[in-house]
A and B are shown apart, each in its own frame.
Chain A
Amino acid sequence: MTPFLDRDLRVKPINAFIDPPQPQARAIITHGHADHARSGHGAVLATPDTIAIMKTRYGEDCAGTFQALEFGVPLQVDDVQITFFPAGHILGSAQVLLEHKGQRIVVTGDYKTRPDRTAQPFELVKCHLLVTEATFGLPVFQHPDPLDEIQRLLRVAAAHPERAYVIGCYALGKAQRVISLLREAGYDRPIYLHGAMIRLCALYEERGIALGDLRHSLDVPKAELAGQIVIAPPSAIKDRWSRRLPDPVLAVASGWMSVKQRARQSGVELPLIISDHADWNELRETITATEAETIWVTHGREDALVYWCQQQGRLAEPLNIEAYEDGEEEGE
């Protein structure tokens, strides 16, 4: 069966692109991270949360028109039916199910299958062709329970209350997940935010995700931040901003943090292995459960996952889609 999706993720019968890196007339957007959602498209189809995120980040007029589509509600466009299913990656993140002449194609976008209070839980969708991400597509990535990681942070912070704990994370998704995990672990003290975090935390709260007592770190006297948790972009610790903190500990929350040599090289004192992407085991379980005959692998370390699929007797190939992440950082 020839797929009706081409390798640039263009839905051929309706000439619409999924997460296109360049401005296109018709774009289906899986979620709000910058490497998937760009501004400047003509017509955008996305979940209501994703549209809200795009408008917050890029402005009300960052696309010609927006069409909101709720999860699980099919939309017929010519002879293609489009349905969004939760991807569990961040708030509003969707997998796209495309149906055309009896053929089912799922594009996962970024996803994880573990529970996360800040994102709609992942739903498995069976299909013929699966386009999966592979950010952590190597068997060395086996993410631990994120609550254990948070507990470790809280233990260290309790043992050294004279230092400030800066958790480096992305402003969209990871920041809110970490805050929510802290709350889940029973941490009810104020959490301080770097300026870059404020807008999106407010948006999450508006959309019904409770994050507790959040405060701007600006103008807080240095001494008051001892023993406190501050959420900031990972680069902020290297900037003058960090001088206002008492003896800061850099704790970066990311799936990459499992590699200690790497944490060490980037000066991370307290690595927290907390990821919003499927790890090696989740990737394999998902691929198997979709019962897809053909797997296209994109966004990440494609080689190992393609190799594994082929060992399992599936058709698999890497999609060498233009790399728009800057390589080093976790694809948001």
Chain B
Amino acid sequence: MKAFAQLLELLALTPSRNRKIEALKDYFARTPDPDRGFALAILTGAMDFKNVKPAVLREVVTREVDPALFAMSYDYVGDLGETIALIWPHHGAAGELPSLTELIELFQTTSKAELPKLIASLLTRAEINERWALVKLATGALRIGLSARLAKTALAEMSGKDLQEIEEVWHGITLPYTELFAWLDGRAERPDIDHAARFHPMMLSNPIDEDKDLEKLDPAEFSAEWKWDGIRVQMIASRGRVSLFSRTGDDIAAAFPDVVDAVFGDAVLDGELLVGREFEASSFNDLQQRLNRKVASPKQLAELPAFIRVYDMLFDGQTDIRALSWSERRARLETWFAANPQTRMDLSEVLPFASWEELAQLRRTGADEHGHEGVMVKLKSSPYVPGRPKGLWYKWKRDPNVVDAILMYAQRGHGKRSSFYSDYTFGVWKGNEIVPIGKAYFGFTDEELKQLDKWVRTNTVASFGPVREVKKELVFEVAFDSAQQSTRHKSGVALRFPRINRIRWDKPAGEAATLDDMTVFLSAT
């Protein structure tokens, strides 16, 4: 338990991703089974104790601490688990804490009535850090900023196995993952699991290089679809069970019961999760509201219904068809749809085109008239290959829009960049005034960052906490995907995905864009 508490603290306080991975690798390499398996389950959020709830912990504490003092403390600390760990008044009882495995067994087998006594005795035996870890573990709310993917990345680095392979077995293995670790340690074969019922790593695309790629590629060998502005999902329906996975392999079925409950038939499908009525997709912002919730509220289900726009098929029933060509898979997908009518899934339309020029024109009209992000271009003969294979799938985004804006404010960055002003707010002219239109992080070389940082420090006109206002003299070329009308910003314009293309040291601020220049970018949606 001591080692696990140390690991949790380090993960909570280390901003560096690499150092978190190092700490995880080190822990998994040194910790025996089954402790490390349980630790992995806790870190990836796969552990849940049905009797240990925050209310029980609160009850345990308020038996020992005046409730009014507890309330004032909770108000100050802001985190229930941490308040309990800090406020527990009894320390230093003899004896080490049980191992992680023993602890979990205790939590699972102790009756509701006996639980408060058990927790109180554990808290008294724990050292300060262990107490914090213990409460986090018991409530399941780690809040240490660790993703399941990072834990899996550490396993991949530790074992030399492919992250993809680990994700493939992930959803088919059971606690405490001894077969997984046996395989990772090279002591056993890869765990054998129900192939149709688990997550399959997705096939991803590469951006198209218009100058190099297009002349080499034969348009007749490719098919095209719109690039949808939702999130990529994998829907698995097998023997009456339906799962919905995000691109990183997180199961999000609980948040989308409207989609999951409406699936009819067995298949593993690849598509885009969108929000809207009658298969009319609304904005990404609407989807975001659903994604923010672990469980959807009845109001959301009614107002923001979700659906999947399907573009590929990995398993037809129980049959793995990933080795077939895209054309064959598409034909199977259409047949499957005809045989299994759906209410919350539809097919992504295949766009007809004869030449790249024609597709380019289509892509422009789609962007201007419907706000599409661009088009996807897929080699008709390609199998479904996990990862980001070259030359098979391309994304062809619409051209970024570009504007020359003036740097207004700068703020210090995080982590390695905490001593650099690397976060910038920029604006355009509105008459004689400059109004902010967006904010972007730094995207240049270290050398340019240093120059900019120096420029900010020597041209500061005012400071507000971490923010510096600078002389309105430096021009940035800012690229963005789209602009929308916004009542929230003073300028009335909000940019989507703004990034700083280059620093225009040469350009006088007077020649930067005006708000009127921005109106041409405002999209129809």
Contacts and interface: CB of A to CB of B under 8 A. Distances in A.
A259 B77 contact: yes
B76 A269 contact: no
Contacts of B415: 267
Interface string A103-141: 000000000000000000000000000000000001111
Contacts of A140: 73, 76-77, 83, 86-87
A264 interface: yes
Given A138-B76, A301-B76, A304-B69, A259 B86 contact: yes
Interface residues of A, number: 29
Nearest to B78: A261
Contacts of B86: 140-142, 258-259
A308 to B, nearest CB: 7
B9 A307 contact: no
Nearest to A242: B419
Contacts of A242: 419
Contact of B73 (A139, A261, A311): A139
A269 B457 CA distance: 26
Contacts of A141: 86
A199 B457 CA distance: 28
Interface in A137-196: 138-142, 144
Contacts of B89: 139, 142
B12 A138 contact: no
Given A140-B76, A259-B82, A307-B69, A269 B87 contact: no
B451 interface: no
Contacts of A240: 419, 457
A11 interface: no
B414 interface: yes
Contacts of B128: 144, 258
A97 B109 CA distance: 58
Interface string B134-148: 000000000100000
Contact of A264 (B12, B68, B70, B418): B12
A139 B82 contact: no
Nearest to A301: B76
Contacts of B69: 138-139, 304, 307-308
Given A258-B86, A261-B77, A261-B82, A304 B72 contact: yes
B354 interface: no
A292 interface: no
B520 to A, nearest CB: 41
10 contacts: A140-B77, A141-B86, A142-B91, A237-B418, A237-B419, A260-B13, A261-B143, A267-B15, A268-B13, A308-B69
Given A140-B73, A304-B72, 18 more contacts: A138-B72, A138-B73, A138-B76, A139-B89, A140-B76, A140-B83, A243-B419, A259-B86, A260-B9, A261-B77, A261-B79, A264-B12, A268-B13, A269-B14, A271-B13, A301-B72, A307-B69, A308-B66
Give me the 5 closest cross-chain CB pairs, A-B, nearest first. Answer: A140-B86, A140-B73, A304-B72, A140-B87, A139-B87
